[in-house]
Structure 1
Amino acid sequence: MKHIKSIKIISEYVQIILGIILASIGLKAFLLPNGFLDGGVTGIALLVSSVLDINVSALLILFSIPFLILGFYTVSRRIVIKSIISILGLALFIHFENFSTITEDKLLISIFGGLFLGAGIGIAIRNGSVLDGSEILGIYLNDKYGISIGQIILVFNIILFSVTALVLSAEVALYSILTYIVTAKVTDLVIEGFEDFIGVTIVSKKYEAIEIAIMEELGTGMTLYKGTRGVGSSGKTEDFDIIHTIVNRIDIKKMYRVVDKIDPKAFIVEFDVNTVKGGVLRHYLDKKKNKIIPRL
């Protein structure tokens, strides 16, 4: 067990280092040479650096300190320690890295700068670290006042980009907003993964036939809840099973077709699913024998 735990810890730090490298490439190769900003603490450091001509690495560490202190009281110490290492590592990489100009196209700079930065931030977050203190601020205000983290970060960045438009220029602010959008989307993609799953609840008198059809046609597992009584368009229903399953977004239309062929009046509730772990997914069922196929 200790051996497995050690490998997991080493793997986490190796991935965090990879995240730092990617984020530093986005900053040093694209954003910094062209005066573009990102959101959060990184954006503040870039803005102050461009106005006062102060080393951005020093500013990144300086502006992160209050958020790390705040994080000491709001999140686990392990996350704070990892974040300190990550921010110091990012600052060092930015300071010592030297890249030649890759492109002068402003649109490409915004997109690829955001892409590298978002990938780096996402990898770091997946491994229990943050490269930007604004996430810690969001967690703190969410716990204290119940405001969503997304709204806090959005307001934080609206203020930042408004100041950028006043201090630098509207054009820089607009390109920086584009960079932030790309960064945010790529970060979400890295954290949540490329596959998008949907939860589905199905209520039907013909639940047995639907259960078999889903296993045979979609190859996904499911959970059955015991329903005692229900009232709907077809009147009262008693003693039936409610089907709960998770399908890939690609397969959702096929699932509707499968259910419609058996019971066009079936009641179906669809909802988004952020994370899926365990269970039978991605066609791990043998469609002929309805048995689980071992993962390769």
Structure 2
Amino acid sequence: MYLLQKALTILIGSFLVACGVNAFLLPHSLLDGGALGISLIFHYVLDVKVGMTFLLISIPIFVLAWIFYRSFFYNGIHGMLFSSLIIDVCYPLQIIGRETLLSPLVSAACGGILIGSGVGIMLRHDISIGGTDLLAQMIAKKMTINPGIMILIIDFLIVSVGSYLIQSVHLLLSVTTVLFVGLTTSMIVSISPKAVDMHTQ
């Protein structure tokens, strides 16, 4: 039962992340933070697959996790592998995103909410999609600082570099995405387990 619940959580969470990326970020050349943001930068510059790039970026980070923080490795490997696959499988959703003609600001917010929901749902079950968030967690543990602050620093650095390198990327819109991802993730993770139980009864 536990394995089925975990598999379902990874499936739903990964699908929400994939929808956020493909249907809302890609049509407007928006960025997110973390390894996903780096993958989007490579996609806009080199036209490579976002999910595959995310996987390649995450591999060396997971190697470090295996060596130094084994629990981080076990909590993230399944989410990372499945999310990478689903992001590329759902790539055609960008066609729907282009046809809906939402404003870039609305797309930035919607994309952030979907990605944050997917990440938050997985984190509630101790599942991570890894990437630079995993790296930030390891750095924060080593330096004994708040991991949320470390993740935020890395995210804003990636978005800033991406907006500098790619002319079509709008810094403030991408920052909007990062903020909505962070807020949505935090809200979902902080929901009381009792409240969740009441809704499921």
Please classify the TM superposition score into its range, dividing by the shorter chain length.
0.7 to 0.9
Q: Which residue of 2 aligns with 1:94?
A: 87
Partner of 1:10: 4
Aligned to 1:106: 104
CA distance in 1, matches of 2:26, 2:75: 25
> Which consecutive segments of 4 or more residues in structure 1 shift more than 4 A?
none
Equivalent residue for 1:161?
A: 159
Counterpart CA distance in 1 for 2:85 and 2:73 is 18
1:143-178 CA-partner distances (Å, limit 9, x unpaired): 222232122112212321221221124861211100
Question: How many residues of Structure 1 are paired with residues of Structure 2 in the alignment?
Answer: 191
Cα displacement string for residues 221-249 of structure 1 (whole angstroms, at most 9, x for unaligned residues):
xxxxxxxxxxxxxxxxxxxxxxxxxxxxx
2:185 is aligned, of 184, 187, 197, to 187
1:33 aligns with 2:27: yes
- Return the letter of the residue paired with 1:45: S
Question: Larger helix proportion, structure 1 or 2?
Answer: 2
Matched, 1:24 2:22: no
Structural mapping, 1:139-150, within 5 Å:
139-150=137-148
What is the CA–CA distance in structure 2 between the aligned matches of 1:185 and 1:75, rounded to whole Å? 27
> Which among 42, 50, 53 is matched to residue 56 of structure 1?
50
SS at match of 1:15: helix
Which amino acid letter does the alignment assign opposite residue 61 of structure 1?
L
Structure 2 residue runs of 5 or longer lacking an equivalent are: 196-200
- Partner Cα distance (2:70, 2:101) in 1: 41
Gap change, CA 1:128 and 1:190, over 3 Å in 2: same
Tell me: CA distance 1:141–1:82, structure 2 relative to 1, closer, same or farther (3 Å).
closer
Amino acid at match of 1:172: H
Deviations 1:98-126 (A, max 9, x none): 22223331011101100110000001111
Which blocks of at least 5 consecutive residues in structure 1 are unaligned? 1-6, 196-275, 282-295
Give me the CA root mean square deviation. Answer: 2.2
**How far, CA to CA, are the matches of 2:172 and 2:101 in structure 1?**
19
